[in-house]
Each structure stands twice: as C-alpha cells, then as structure tokens.
Structure 1
Amino acid sequence: MSMRIRKYSWQLAPRSLREIRQRVFIDEQKVPPDLEWDDTDEIADHFLAVLPDNTPVAVGRMFTTLDDTAHIGRMAVLPEHRGKGIGEAMLRHIMAEAAGHVQDLHLSAQEHAVPFYQRSGFHVFEGPYDDAGIPHFGMRCLAPVEMISALSRQSPGPAPMILGSDDSSWLVENDAQLPQLMDNLVSQARQRVWLYDRLLDHDLYDRQRLRDLFSGLARYHRNSEIRLLVHDDGPLVKRRHQLVELMRRLPSSITLRLVNGDYPPAEQPFVLVDRQGVLYRHRFDRPEGFAGFADSGRVRLLGETFQRMWDTARPSLELRELPL
C-alpha cells in the first residue's frame, strides 16, 4: 500500500498521532491512560504513517538509551487498516532509521504479535511478563544493518535470522558483518556455544557485547555450556581478555582448552550454537564465510569434529595461574 511515514518530536507531533494511540491502546486494549502516556514520549522519535490523501493510519516510536540500544514501541495500526502490510512497513522504516547508529534493537511484543516481529528478524530473549495486564515478550534484533539490507534486496523466509527457523545462508563478506552475525546467533543460544579458532582475536572476541551474551547464557540457562577451543593462548596471557575474565568467574559454565598438536585439527574456524546455528569461516585470517540459523546437518558434523578435538585437548595452565 502506498503511504508516507513522517518523523516528529513529541512537542511537534500532530494530534492524530495521539488519537491513534488513544483508540488502539486505551479504547481497544484497555491500557490504563496513566501507563500509556509516559515520560519516554518526551525523548522519543515518533512516527506517523499517512495514506496518499493524508489519512493517518499507524504510529510507532523509538528512543535510544545510554548503552546505545534502540527501543521500538507503541506500534499501532488502526483496525480498519490492518492486514495491508502497514505495520510491517512502519517497523522496517523505524529499523532503517536505527541502522548505522545502533546495533541492538529491542521491543516489547504482545504475545500474539511475536510472529509479526519475527518476520523482520526479531527473536524472543525474555518473558513472558505482564505489561498493563497483557502478556508480553522481550524481543531483540542484533544485526539491524544486515537485516535492513537483506529485507530491501530480497524476500527472506518468514523468520529471518531466527534460530531453528531460517534455513537460508547468510554470507559473511567483511569484518563488519562477522561480529554482527556471531552476536545474533549467540544471543539466541539456550544450550551451548562451541567456538573453535586459532586464537581469541581481540578485535573479534574481546568485546563487551559478546561477553554480556556469554554471561547471560551461562547465568540464566541452567546446564548451558560454553566451550572455547584454540591453538594459541599466548595473546590471552599477554593481554587481558574479557572472555578469559568471564571464564574464570564462571568456571562451571565456560571452559577453554588448547588443541593437541599431535592430532590433525580442523583447518577452518567455526562457532556452533545449540543444535541449529553455525558461523563458518573459510580461513583463520579472513572474515569470509557464512552463517546458518537452521543448519542441523552441518552443525552435527562440525560438532563431531569439535568433540574429537576437545577430547584430546588440554587446559591452559598459564591462564589458570593469572590473577583475577
């Protein structure tokens, strides 16, 4: 459907923006007015979709927190205009506004709307929880630049970048794409992350967000395991590394071993997430490769390779002796 989406501050937003929220959230969904109108409106960007004849039909808002996370919310389409793709167009427009500025998008979705947001690459990471008497789930998208690029040039499956659902292959062509896809995979782990590389390169692995994702998996998913298998621990001994510090604080969940040189190791690095996700690179010193979110066959074969190397590997005595 042809329409335009305009951005406003709260102070300059037209009356129709408030009226749509009033009709959808307060009148239709019975959200208490004192919960609908909050202080966040003052700091958020507000979006209004209008038809070619200037009829207002949908709204949404976005604000950014100090940790550079963009939060999308107050998405609403008038009842008489639903089912026409307006909500999806609004969401992707807001995502495009955020792309290039932030790499982490969050939103709170009503239970029935979860599949709608999955179609644009958001996955559930918390919930359910109650919000204004309605069940909600926390959802996030950790690769908005890649997602917007993909959605604009192709028609991916019904749940792009959703672990266990997206059977397409996402190519990795440069250094910027590699951590984006890795983080998106790791953020969806519920059981395990097995990582194999020559070394834990500081540019790729020594990052606060990756540490936070590993920490969240280890702390909030019982019986989860994170295995780090590398050839060389020298750089880790010489310079502090966030994953090493985390490993030493959560030793029951995160383990690092060194490849046994007496046995032939795999010649390509990879990351395995649960039983479905894989990030595979063609060379240790290059970013090029691919990510798969529903590639159980490849994950099984690489998992067998990883397990063979892991069984003959040894712990790092040097890391064990480092002070906290």
Structure 2
Amino acid sequence: MTVRFRKYSWQLAPRDVRDIRQTVFIDEQGVPPELEWDDTDEIADHFLAVLPDNTPVATARMFYTLDDTAHIGRMAVLPRHRGTGLGEKVLRHLMAEAAGQVPNLYLSAQEHAVPFYQRSGFHVCTEPYDDAGIPHYGMRCLAPTLVTPGFNHDSPRHKPMILGEDEQSWLIDADHQVPDLMDSLVGQARQRLWLYDRLLDHDLYDRQRLRDLLSWLARHHRNSEVRLLVHDDGPLVKRRHRLVDLLRRLPSAIDLRLVNTDYPPVEQPFLLVDREGVLVRHRFDRPEGFASFADSGRARLLAEDFQRMWDIARPSLELRELPL
C-alpha cells in the first residue's frame, strides 16, 4: 500500500485526524472522550497517512520531552485498511522522524499489540498497567538510528534487538554503535548482567542512561545479579563516575572486582545479559565487534570464562574506602 504522510500541529490539523481517533478509540474501543482528548494534543506533532487519492486512512501523534525521548501515541488505522502493513508504515515513519533528533523512543502499547511493536525494535520496559480499562505495557526503543535503516533491508529482521528473539548478530564497526547496542541489551536484563572490560571508560560507561538502566535492574528485580569485572578501577576513583554512586548505594545488588593478573585473563571485553544476550568487542581499545540478542551457546561459553576470572578476582579497596 502506497501512502504519504502529512505533519500538523493540533491547531492546524484537519478534521480527519480527530475523526479517525473518534472511530477507532471512542466508537470501537470504548475509550471515554474525556480521556481521549487531552492536553498533550496541544504540544504534539500529528501525522496523517493518506492514499495517493488523498483518502485519509491512519493517524498518530508524537511529542518530545526534556530527557531526550520521543513519545509515540494515538496510533490509529481505520478498520478497512488493517492487515495491509499500514500500521507498520506509520510507526516506521515516526521512528525515522525522531531517530535523528533523540536517542530514546517510548510508547504505551495495548497488550495485544506488543508483538506488533516488537517487530519494529521496541521492547517491554514496564509491568502491565490499566489505561482507560485496557491492559497496556510501556515499550521503548533505545537504538532508533540503528534499527530504522534496517527496515529497508532486503531481509528484514524478525523483532530486531529483542532479547531471546533476534537471532541475527549486529556487527559493530563504529564507536557510536556500542552504547546503543549495550543499552538495548541492558534495558532488557531481568536476571544476570556480567560485564568484563579493562576499565570503565567514561565515554562508554559514565553515561546517565546506562546508570539509570542498571539502577532499574538492581532495584526492581530482586534476583538480579550485576557483576562488573575490570583490570583498573582508577577512572572510577579519580573522576566521579556515575557508576560509583550505584556501587556504593546498592552493594548487595551490584558488585565490582579487579582481575587477578597472576592468571591469564580473557583478551577481549564482553557483556552478558541473562542467558542469551552478548556484546563482544575484539579489542579493549577499539569498538569493532558484534552484539547478539539470542545466542545462548556463546553466552554460556563466555559465562564460563567470566566465572573463572570472577572466582579469583579481588575487591576494589579504593572504592570501598570512598565516602558516600
């Protein structure tokens, strides 16, 4: 289906935008009008999808917040045009619109639509909640600039960057790819997060988004285990690193140890998430490597290497002596 997209402010949006939402959300799904029309409409961009003959068929809105997040919502496709791939076209258009402006995308998905959004690289990031009497989940995409180009590939990925689902590896050949892939893995961790590197470099690890993701994992999943294994803890101590605060305030959930150099360590850094997610860089000083979101075999082998080094590692005395 060929469609064109038009973008409007709420004040200039044609009646078609309101009519489609009225049909889908109020008439069809029973959303109360007082919940459907809210103040967010005034600050959002509104998108209208039209056919080549200018027939309106779908709409959505998107707005930005100060935490560098684009919020996608009110996606509605008229009933007679569903099942044609139109909804995916609408979502991908909004993702492409936001990808060059912000690093985070967020939306609230009805429970039945979760697989639909996963196919475009969004992962669940909240517990279920009720919205207008309908079960919803919060979902986010932490790597829009990496996911969006893949939509036009000859062999599109099945659920890109979804832990346990995306079976194709992501090759890394540039610095900017590493934090997006790393955060996309960390943001889906529920049990194990093991990280091994020479040091916790500030450019890669001293980032607010990574700190928030680690904090969420440690605070909201009681059985989670965050282990950080490094050769040198100097950068953590010399310049106040964001992860120092977590290490000091959540000692029962996050642990850091130093590699015992009396025994041969692994010569490449890696990250393990739960039992399937891995990110490997081929060298400590270069970004080149790969990330896999569903590779249980490699995760198991790397976990054996990590456990061997962890068992003979030593605690960081300098971190222990830092005041809160």
Q: Please report the TM-score for the alignment, with normalisation by the length of structure 1.
A: 0.99
- Aligned twin of 1:92: 92
- Aligned twin of 1:213: 213
Does residue 309 (structure 1) correspond to residue 309 (structure 2)? The answer is yes
Deviation, 1:290, is 0.5
Deviation, 1:152, is 2.3
- Aligned twin of 2:37: 37
Q: Which amino acid aligns with 2:63?
A: F
Deviation, 1:155, is 3.2
- Aligned twin of 2:167: 167
- Aligned twin of 1:117: 117
Distance in 1 between residues matched to 2:153 and 2:8, nearest whole Å: 28
- Aligned twin of 1:77: 77
In the TM superposition, 1:39-78 aligns within 5 A as 39-78=39-78
Q: Which amino acid aligns with 1:227?
A: R
- Aligned twin of 1:286: 286
- Aligned twin of 1:27: 27
Distance in 2 between residues matched to 1:180 and 1:319, nearest whole Å: 28
Distance in 1 between residues matched to 2:128 and 2:24, nearest whole Å: 22
Q: Which secondary structure does the structure 1 equivalent of 2:237 belong to?
A: helix
In the TM superposition, 1:246-257 aligns within 5 A as 246-257=246-257
Deviations 1:6-28 (A, max 9, x none): 11110110101100000000000
Deviation, 1:258, is 0.2
Distance in 1 between residues matched to 2:127 and 2:250, nearest whole Å: 24
Q: Please report the TM-score for the alignment, with normalisation by the length of structure 2.
A: 0.99
Distance in 1 between residues matched to 2:202 and 2:131, nearest whole Å: 40
Deviation, 1:236, is 1.6
In the TM superposition, 1:174-193 aligns within 5 A as 174-193=174-193
Deviation, 1:257, is 0.2
Deviations 1:236-258 (A, max 9, x none): 22111111211110000000000
Backbone CA RMSD of aligned residues: 0.7
Name the stretch that deviates more: 15-24 or 238-247: 238-247
- Aligned twin of 1:321: 321
Q: Which amino acid aligns with 1:77?
A: V
Q: Which secondary structure does the structure 1 equivalent of 2:60 belong to?
A: strand
Distance in 1 between residues matched to 2:217 and 2:309, nearest whole Å: 23
- Aligned twin of 2:126: 126
Q: Which secondary structure does the structure 2 equivalent of 1:126 belong to?
A: coil
CA contact (8 A) 2:150 2:157 kept: no
Distance in 2 between residues matched to 1:141 and 1:95, nearest whole Å: 9
Q: Which secondary structure does the structure 2 equivalent of 1:231 belong to?
A: strand
Deviation, 1:121, is 0.4
Distance in 2 between residues matched to 1:315 and 1:214, nearest whole Å: 20
Distance in 2 between residues matched to 1:154 and 1:288, nearest whole Å: 24
Distance in 1 between residues matched to 2:211 and 2:301, nearest whole Å: 27
Distance in 1 between residues matched to 2:291 and 2:195, nearest whole Å: 14
Runs of 4+ residues over 6 Å off in structure 1? none
Q: Which secondary structure does the structure 1 equivalent of 2:126 belong to?
A: strand
Distance in 2 between residues matched to 1:40 and 1:161, nearest whole Å: 29
Deviations 1:136-191 (A, max 9, x none): 01100000000001222343332111000110000111111110000000000000
Deviations 1:190-241 (A, max 9, x none): 0011000000000000000000000000000111011000001122221111
Distance in 1 between residues matched to 2:222 and 2:152, nearest whole Å: 38
Q: Which secondary structure does the structure 2 equivalent of 1:306 belong to?
A: helix
Q: Which amino acid aligns with 1:146?
A: L
In the TM superposition, 1:194-209 aligns within 5 A as 194-209=194-209
Deviations 1:265-315 (A, max 9, x none): 000000000000000000000011110000000000000000000000000
CA contact (8 A) 2:127 2:137 kept: yes
Deviations 1:6-60 (A, max 9, x none): 1111011010110000000000000000000000000000000000111000000
Q: Which secondary structure does the structure 2 equivalent of 1:105 belong to?
A: strand
- Percent identical: 78
- Aligned twin of 2:101: 101
Q: Which secondary structure does the structure 2 equivalent of 1:130 belong to?
A: strand
